[in-house]
Chains A and B, each alone.
Chain A
Amino acid sequence: MLAKRIIPCLDVKDGRTVKGVNFVGLTDAGDPVALAARYSEEGADELLFLDITASHEKRKTLTALVDKVAKAVNIPFTVGGGVSTVDDAYALLQSGADKISLNSAAVRTPSLIEEIALRFGSQCVVLAIDARMDENERWEVFVNGGRTPTGRDLFAWAREGQERGAGEILFTSMNHDGTRNGFANSALAQLSKTLTIPLIASGGAGSMRHFADAFIKGMADAALAASVFHFGVIKIPELKEYLLKCSISIR
């Protein structure tokens, strides 16, 4: 049976992992390669590297990092953050990334999804969407790291992304992100029902139960989290054991 995927997200700045990661036994938790290898050993199914480097001059640092990760890690990984042209995507894929994720640039220039999907295949295009639910329960898409509202509806944008050739949707609920109160399960379920491509849940993981809920109630195909893994709140081997007990298909 196809397994639900667990995806740790690593924030990278200037070629180093940020957000105080405290892994026992890792001498340098800022080394993305060592961290990636560690997560892979622990049973992570995929990895996401999110580049938060502000300046464009630092892009070369990122491709060099991707190359190092690709040499060391034998599970799939996605690279995102600031991908805004076909050339950006090409550089990352050529360095060994399996997928690239698009966010703000796709909202600005939706045809970018088609261009990258046509050139490299839908399987390597993840459309990342940050959205916030307002008091009228309407989900609005935000860009620029959640700072800029776009007026776009989450569900319409996800469907458009799929039609334009995205291979997966990564949905982060800004209402849930950082709360550790669980994923946005009803929005996830609604998305999952309308999409015919895989859906990755993001934002709100705080306990092992939350992952089970994202898969069962949210009908997500994969779940992504950062801090709960980095700070050791949840350990991947224990999480997988727990999900198996919940009768969820897990590798």
Chain B
Amino acid sequence: MMVAVIDYGAGNLTSLKYALERCGVVNLNITSDPDVILNADRVIFPGVGHAAFAMQKLKQKSLDILIPTLKQPVLGICLGMQLMCAYSEEGEVHGLGIFEAKVRRFGSGLKVPHMGWNTVKSSTELGLDNYFYFVHSYYVESCPQTLAVCHYGTTFSAVLRHDNFTGCQFHPEKSGEAGEQFLKQFLL
């Protein structure tokens, strides 16, 4: 199985690379090459940083057009998931529109970033009911594609799914055993 991790200059991919290797991935491509991405069996769309800046980077490589057309399982992590949504308040930017939800900033009175281990709840996927590691200042509101939620001041989407597209707000590569199980499930 060939796994492509989309590299568009938004964040450090070392942790993710090592986590995938721990999950047994041998054929791993960290790339922005559309051909490699199209031919991958699994595509991971990571990201850390500012939404508007990251969207600009995606557009420079025309990845904003490519990603929504992918047919294989795609996993967006953290900012990657947020960019798969319709709109983000961070830089007031339109995303890829794969998920209908909007991305909002956590309200005042909360410590931001939401940083650390928090519980994820899912009514349908039992394996998701666990602690996962989060680091983010913006959240995806609940929407019909929400598969699991988390609570921090407000209830927000921890996992989203639409057809072959999955997104997770937490960092599975840093979420201990639970995170490795989540990644392995995606790689199955």
Contact = CB atoms under 8 A, between A and B. Distances in A.
Interface of A: 1-5, 40, 45, 67, 70-71, 74-76, 93-96, 98, 120-124, 167-168, 195-198, 221-222, 251
A159 to B, nearest CB: 14
B176 interface: yes
B21 interface: yes
Contacts of B114: 2
Interface stretch (B10-18, B61-69, B160-168): B10-18
A52 to B, nearest CB: 24
Contacts of B59: none
Nearest to A4: B116
A45 B116 contact: yes
Contacts of A70: 14-15, 18
A1 B118 contact: yes
Contact of A221 (B15, B116, B174): B116
**Closest 5 pairs between A and B when the two form their complex, measured CB to CB:** A96-B14, A251-B131, A251-B117, A3-B117, A123-B135
Contacts, number: 84
Interface string B46-62: 00110000000000000
B145 interface: no
Interface string B156-187: 00000000000000010111110110000000
Nearest to B114: A2
Given A221-B116, A251-B117, 7 more contacts: A2-B116, A2-B118, A95-B14, A96-B12, A96-B18, A196-B110, A196-B111
19 contacts: A3-B117, A3-B118, A5-B117, A71-B18, A74-B175, A74-B179, A74-B180, A75-B174, A75-B176, A76-B174, A96-B14, A121-B11, A122-B137, A123-B48, A123-B113, A167-B115, A198-B115, A198-B116, A221-B111
Contacts of A196: 110-112
B102 to A, nearest CB: 21
